[in-house]
Amino acid sequence: MAKKYFFNFIVFILMIAFISSCKSDDDYEDEYIEIIEVEEISPVVFNIDEVPYPKLSDYNFFDGLMSNQDPVYGVLPFRLINKLFTDYAKKQRFIWMPDDVSANYVNDHTVLDFPIGTTLIKTFYYENVLPDNNKNIIETRLMIKKEEGWIFANYIWNEDQTEADFDLVGGFADLEWDLEGTTRSVHYRIPSQSECFTCHKSEVNNTPIGPKPQNLNSEYPYEDGTKNQLQKLIEMGYLENNLPETIYTVPKWDDTSLDLNERMRGYTDINCAHCHYDFGHCDYRPMRFAFNLTSDDINLGVCVDSDTDIFDKTKIVEPSNLDNSILYYRFSTIEENYRMPLLGRSLVHEEAVELVEEWINSLDISCN
């Protein structure tokens, strides 16, 4: 199905028959309904030879006030089952594609094979920002697939929340916000182009991280009803209809009703695997945190000897021994040289630390 939306415009012919009392039914020919198909075109402004544009508004991704993030037709919202932690910032994600092109399924754990022109849109913001408990959008990051590959286009929002300007230098935003009754503060890092590449590195190329079938196979409340996200992409013409019957889907890491080990694998998949894989930034480390690989505990670091000297900790993960587990230390510290992930956070993800602690203490194998 093409990426077009059709609606039926019903025209009643001989409508006068219903209001006229001067003629009998025999005076009229049979009434009929004419169905007119009207094609809705996305109003997004996009010239692949000219992007990235200097301002976010130049793309016309959003209807009305841009800060409302109300997408125009063709800009499809989506969300990941598991999301990369970024100092408790909230995120809104969208995808847009040109007409007559579609992505292809590769396998469950690989990013969809997106066509040229695909634009991934991700806005970072905080709610309940003090002193006025307002929403504050900090940045909107774009990844645009050009003929030469994926490029980054980052847009930093102004104080009035009316516009965002192209910027790949990066910077910081300091703010305080209320998080469940507690005042929190953050020295939020807006990444530079080189920092973007560190996390999105695939050999010498850039690549998205999150939009994999295993992390998209869930429902989303669209305006026209709740639907599976992959099926919605197919309906929009954004994805070829060649999905397998079953997709090995990641568990939601913070759903405590699910298996603890599976939740741990789900968390490390989105937060760690993009660096710890072949040709990634940390490919020299022994761990491989991708969800399809961590059914083997060794890839989670269990009983793996430390390859770095951090406070005499000898194992990446030693079952039931937090003090000797480097993984636990990296999750629970904010020291720049030791924290994990290295980029994207300056705060401790407290809920994740609790997950790691519970998981390590649940392991009942011996490393001897």
Select from 290, 111, 295 the least CA-distant residue to 210. Answer: 111
Select from 219, 222, 221, 261 the least CA-distant residue to 230. Answer: 219
User: For 238, which DSSP code?
Assistant: S
Distance CA 120, CA 206 (A): 13
Highest mean pLDDT of the ranges 9-23, 37-51, 141-155, 201-215: 141-155
User: How buried is residue 226: exposed, middle or buried, by Cβ count under 10 Å (0-12/13-18/19+)?
Assistant: exposed
Between 26 and 85, residue with greater pLDDT: 85
Position 38 scores a pLDDT of 62
* Element housing 119 (H / E): strand 119-129
Cβ within 8 Å of residue 350, ≥6 positions away: none
Cβ within 8 Å of residue 168, ≥6 positions away: 152, 153, 154, 192, 193, 196
Average pLDDT over the chain reads 87
How much is the pTM?
0.87
Between 40 and 351, residue with greater pLDDT: 351
Highest mean pLDDT of the ranges 179-188, 202-211, 234-243, 292-301: 234-243
Position 116 scores a pLDDT of 97
Between 116 and 35, residue with greater pLDDT: 116
Please give the backbone phi and psi of residue 9, each rounded to the nearest 5 degrees, phi first: -100, 110
pLDDT at 33 exceeding the cut of 60: no
Position 69 scores a pLDDT of 98
pLDDT at 188 exceeding the cut of 80: yes
Task: Read off the pLDDT of each residue in 219-247 and give the average, rounded to a whole number.
Answer: 97
Between 5 and 244, residue with greater pLDDT: 244
pLDDT at 197 exceeding the cut of 90: no
